[in-house]
Homo-oligomer: A and B are copies of this chain.
């Protein structure tokens, strides 16, 4: 059995972990945040002909208050006919992939569940919720062959990037938080690594109590803190979590927390 991504025993790099058990956005938070910040996904249903063949199509959607996708679709569309006969379905949503970037390194989530027509009594409100988020849908939402359908999520598959993945139960998903920092993480990482590489070496050096770190790259950011990968002389790698004193409400809070943390290392006597 080869589930090792090809590492020969003993050749894998040596990693030491610091603070990686501190609070962080959960896989469910990642999944819920990704689903909440996108509006277009790939719907998989079971075809009528040949029966049971998996069939992919494109849909625009919004999440209802519980995190279940709502979509306004036509009875003329294959996916609607498929779902009317067998509601088993999934919606796959992926982060936008930058030009030239490896799509396997981007986050994506597959919401599995049952796709069914919203009951008549809830049609108007559900449709209005979709149209409010997707004004283009308003053009055809009133056509007699369109109606609002809902994917009642039962479980999820989340992939956070190359090698980071998990199954997520519906209870964890329904209780998850839309993280205000995660959708901006790519920009935060790019900025910090390009313009403030010294801050990473400083913060990680303090965290691991070493003064021989050669570089530190920010690899993650969420409302609870940021993650670095640092390399010391001799090639030992350090996975370092820098926690925030309180959850960040957005990018401005992240900046404020990081500035204060750097100041506290540089000038321990200041009252940052």
A residues with CB within 8 A of B:
2-6, 40-47, 50, 52-58, 60, 74-76, 78, 88-92, 94, 97, 102-104, 106, 108, 110, 112, 136, 139-140, 142-146, 157, 162
| Known A-B contacts A42-B92, A92-B42, A112-B47; A5 and B143 likewise in contact (beta carbons under 8 Å) | yes
Q: A42-B92, A52-B88 are in contact. List 18 more A-B contacts (CB 8 A).
A: A3-B75, A3-B76, A3-B145, A5-B143, A6-B142, A6-B143, A41-B56, A42-B44, A45-B54, A54-B54, A54-B89, A55-B110, A55-B112, A56-B56, A56-B90, A56-B92, A57-B108, A58-B106
Q: Please tell me which one of the listed residues B90, B136, B145 contacts residue A54 in the complex, with CB atoms under 8 A apart.
A: B90
Return chain B residues, CB-CB under 8 Å to A75: 2-3
Cα–Cα distance between A119 and B74 once the two chains are bound (Å): 41
> How many copies are assembled?
2
By beta carbon, the residue of chain B nearest A139 is B102
Query: Are the CB atoms of A144 and B6 closer together than 8 Å?
Result: yes
Return chain B residues, CB-CB under 8 Å to A112: 47, 53, 55
Cα–Cα distance between A253 and B247 once the two chains are bound (Å): 59
By beta carbon, the residue of chain B nearest A88 is B53
